[in-house]
Amino acid sequence: MITDQDLPKPWRVLASPIDQESSTQLDAAAGLQTGVEDPVSWDLLENTETGRRLMLRMGLDETGIVVTGVYVPGPGAIGIGELRSFPLAAIEAAVRARRGQSDASVAAALAAGPDAEDGPLGSPDGPNDRRFYGRLALRYLRVAAESPKPATDLAKAEGVTARTVQRWTARARELGLLPPGRPGRSS
């Protein structure tokens, strides 16, 4: 499923996913079979500047979420230049990043347990203290949603140094409890 946040301007989502009957018809026309073990979605996008519509089939392969099909409904022919302008790689990367963040959030919540927000974090009992790193990840994600410098702000709230929080978040990422950081950013 694609959201407007996954798309560069001037693209927008018209339907994500499109209805199951239309998806089945598109798969059949393309000679594709879809089973429960191969979750896919067809999404209808539109370029708000040109009015061009694009249907993307998103599925899974060994590397994660990928574009597995493209259909460009009329009217009119599509030139190679216009085809090259479709932001397929950017959309794929954005959807993967969002899914990675979602997967990490679920893993962190499971590791943290029901009292994730209770009391101060304290310190980990070792490098594999999943409960501690899960609690840290949930708090970090909450702060990161509102702050451009989440490590600094979380450090202040927890009474530790920003470097300590950065070290902890690096370990939480290694444990799969936080999504990968953005390259070139440090807070």
Q: For Cα atoms 5, 6, 12, give the angle at the middle one, nearest 5 degrees.
A: 75
Q: 96, 65 in Cβ contact below 8 A?
A: yes
136 pLDDT band, cuts 50/70/90, is very high
DSSP code, position 187:
-
pLDDT for 20-44, tens place per residue? Answer: 788 788 888 777 766 545 567 888 9
How many Å apart are CA 25 and CA 38, to the nearest integer?
A: 16
Calculate the average pLDDT of the chain: 84
The DSSP code sequence of 97-117 is HHHHHHHHHHHHHHHH-TTTT
Predicted pLDDT at 45: 92
Please state, for a pLDDT cut of 70, what percent of the chain lies above it.
93
Element containing residue 35 per DSSP (H, E): none
Per-residue pLDDT at 36: 47
Phi, psi of 15, rounded to the nearest 5 degrees: -155, 130
Task: Give the dihedral of Cα atoms 62, 65, 68, 73; nearest 10 deg.
Answer: 180
For residue 160, the model assigns a pLDDT of 94
Q: What is the pLDDT of residue 61?
A: 76
Give 65's strand partners: 60
Q: Does residue 187 surpass a pLDDT of 60?
A: no
What are 44's strand-pairing partners? 15, 55
All residues at 6 or more sequence positions from 184 whose CB lies less than 8 Å from its CB, including other chains: none
Inter-CA distances, 115 with 2, 107, 120, Å: 33, 15, 11
Instruction: Give the number of other CB atoms < 10 A from CB of residue 132.
Output: 21
* Residue ranges in 32-87 assigned as alpha helix (H): 80-84
pLDDT tier at 96, thresholds 50, 70, 90: confident
C-alpha 154: how far from its chain's center? 23
Strand 53-61 with 41-47, pairing = antiparallel
